[in-house]
Structure 1
Amino acid sequence: MKIFVYSHMDDETEYFEKFKKKYNVDMILTHKAPTIETAELAKGFDCISIITTPINALLIKKFNEIGVKFISTRTIGYDHIDVKKARELGISVGNVTYSPRSVADYTVMMILMVTRKLKAIMQNSSVQDYSLKGIQGRELHNLTVGVIGTGRIGKTVIKNLKGFECNIIAYDVHEAEEVKAYAKYVKLDELIKNSDVITIHAPGKVENYHIINKNSISKMKDGVFIINTARGALINTYDLIDALEKGKIAGAALDVIENETGLYYNDLKCEVLKNRELAVLKSYPNVIITPHTAFYTDQAVSDMVENSILSCIAFSEGKENPWKL
């Protein structure tokens, strides 16, 4: 079988070579992203592999015209793909899974960094300000951590946090028995009201859009910390900024943000940042911003490449495909 791979990154090369041989597949790799102009490159291929480039209805239609039958995104999230249009045209779509420890470990790091005010400490230290003013942190064992979403990543976060002896409460539409050994499931409203730290691990579905907003923030404890390593659209950025400026939220650690497409994974140091909210948040001493890198480990990249290939193989051979949406 043949797979056309878009947005191939140099850090993926060794894994594409490894799994190309292991699974005996033909692949063409390009650094180019999938666009109307580059769509023709995939002519003659049933399967394409992409990352986070938006695949809108127009591009879906173009891929359909040249015979593409399956789109595999090397990501867990798939909100960058017009899945509805793909289904209308008979194109199947799949995502991938990868090591949940990548994001889970990063999340715990972010929780520790924001509750211990590490950004302010590092900024002060860089100018040789070694005073203690404004950098007193909090200890996790004294806090209640609310975990929104207990899928593979949220579940792993909870297991990691148990070692810090903090009180853990969780919310998910589908409760997992395994989680109940470590955390107490509560209603979302109860989690919002009772958590000192809220970490989000929900999918970027329409029903979760702006799950953190002015209304939910108003119910939170004063001095709450917000962590988001899931999807930017889960938080209303304007409302977050307002709450940070009013002191309602004591700090935030964000690996994702609304309207990050076209910004993250690019070198923009000499350009005006085309996202005012991101620019504002970056200026706050109590807000940690990272460029959607929580997933980025050697194991995760290997898993993303391998599972995208396996998903394409399963589709082509008509076998059960755990990643097909």
Structure 2
Amino acid sequence: MNILAYSCREDEIEYFKKFSEKYQVEMKLCEDEPKIENAELAEGCDCISIITSRINQELIEKFHQIGVKFISTRTIGYDHIDIKSAKRYRIGVGNVGYSPASVAEYTVMLILMVLRKMKGIMERSNVQDYSLKGIQGKELHNLTVGIIGTGRIGQRVIKCLSGFACKLLAHDLHPQENIKESARYVSLNELFQESDIITMHVPATKENFHLINKESLSIMKDGVYIINTARGSLINTKELIAALENKKISGAALDVIEGEADLYYNDLKCQVLSNRELAILKSYPNVIITPHTAFYTDQAVSDMVENSILSCISYLKENS
């Protein structure tokens, strides 16, 4: 079996070597993202492994022409792949799971940072301003946290937060019995109305598009905090900015944002950002922005590479 890994980062190389030897597959590594110009590199490969690059109809058609049978994305989300075109050309698509602790622990870190106004504290400390005005924070045990989505990551967030003695509300279309002792399942509207902090752990589907919008914000508590380590499309960014400016939202911590695809993981020093909303949000003292790095731990990277290889093996076995 031959697999080509696109967008291979330096930190992934050791894992591709380790797991290709373990599972006896031939790996080709390419540091560039998949494009029409380099699609021919996949000729002779049964599968390709990608990260978050957009895979449109033109690329899928090209991969079909050169014999690619399966596309594995080394991510949980797969909204960057044109699934309809993949079905049309009979190319399988698979995503991967990885250590839920990576995103869950990062989420808790962002919650604490935004509550304790850490952005302002750190910026002041950098210029030796050690005054206290404007940086008084809140204690988590006094607050109610609403968790939207109780899959593997959402469940781990709940487990982590249960040690802080805060009230936990949860919403999911498929409630999990094992977390009902720690969190109370409620309707989405009740979660919006009762939560001091809202954190999202659901996929980017049509149903979840702009889950946070003008209407949902209007029923939230004044001074709510919004945390997003899932997908940028869950939030209507323009309406989030409006709510920050009118002080409906006390703070936000965003590891993902709409329109991030051509920005994150690139060195853009000395450049004007093409995403105006990102530039605006970065300027706010009560908004923490990180570049889609919640997943980025040694364990998660290892899991992503191994599970991507395993998904290729599994698909070819089932469809041989």
Common fold: TM-score over 0.5: yes
| Matching residue of 1:17 | 17
Taking the aligned partners of 1:50 and 1:163, their CA distance within structure 2 comes to 37
Q: Which residue of 2 aligns with 1:259?
A: 259
Verify: 1:173 aligned to 2:156, yes or no.
no
Q: Which amino acid aligns with 2:244?
A: L
Q: Identity of aligned pairs, percent?
A: 69
Give the aligned partner of residue 45 of structure 1: 45
2:198 is paired with a residue whose SS is strand
CA RMSD of aligned residues (A): 1.0
Query: How far apart, in 2, do the equivalents of 1:273 and 1:163 lie?
Result: 39
TM superposition shift of 1:157: 0.1
After TM superposition, give the deviation of residue 123 of structure 1 in Å: 1.2
The equivalent of 2:70 in structure 1 is: 70
Residue 281 of structure 1 corresponds to 281
Aligned partner of 1:298 in structure 2 is 298
> What residue identity is the alignment partner of 2:236?
N
Query: Which stretch of the first structure deviates more once superposed, 124-133 or 260-269?
Result: 124-133
Determine helix, strand or coil for the equivalent of 2:281. Answer: helix
Asked if 1:307 is matched to 2:292, the reply is no
The alignment covers a number of residue pairs equal to 320
Shift of residue 283, structure 1, vs aligned partner: 0.5
Alpha-carbon distance in structure 2 between the residues aligned to 1:165 and 1:27: 48
Equivalent position of 2:130 in the other structure: 130
- Supply the distance in 2 between the matched residues of 1:85 and 1:178 (Cα, whole angstroms): 38
Give distance in 2, aligned partners of 1:125 and 1:9: 33
After TM superposition, what 4+ stretches of structure 1 lie above 4 angstroms from structure 2?
A: none
Q: In the TM superposition, what whole-angstrom CA distance separates every residue of 1:131-170 from its partner, at most 9, and x where no partner exists? A: 1111111001100000000000000000000000000000
Task: Tell me the distance in 2 between the aligned counterparts of 1:21 and 1:142.
Answer: 51
Deviation at 1:84, TM superposition (A): 1.3
* SS at structure 1 position matched to 2:180: helix
1:80 aligns with 2:80: yes
Secondary structure, counterpart of 1:206 in structure 2: coil
CA offset at residue 47 of structure 1? 0.7
Partners of 1:37 and 1:181 in 2: CA distance = 53
Determine helix, strand or coil for the equivalent of 1:181. Answer: coil
Distance in 2 separating the partners of 1:66 and 1:21: 25
For residue 100 of structure 1, what is the aligned residue in structure 2?
100
Give me the whole-angstrom Cα distance separating, in 2, the residues matched to 1:276 and 1:259. 10
Amino acid at match of 1:307: N
Partner residue, 2:112: 112
Q: CA offset at residue 205 of structure 1?
A: 0.8
CA distance in 2, matches of 1:13, 1:46: 20
Q: TM-score, normalised by structure 2?
A: 0.99
Query: How do residues 200-219 of structure 1 correspond to structure 2 at under 5 angstroms?
Result: 200-219=200-219
CA distance in 2, matches of 1:129, 1:223: 26
Shift of 1:94: 0.1
Q: Which amino acid aligns with 1:6?
A: Y
Q: Which residue does 2:160 correspond to in 1?
A: 160
The whole-number CA distance in structure 1 between the counterparts of 2:186 and 2:46 is: 45
Q: CA deviation at 1:251?
A: 0.1
TM-score by length of 1: 0.97
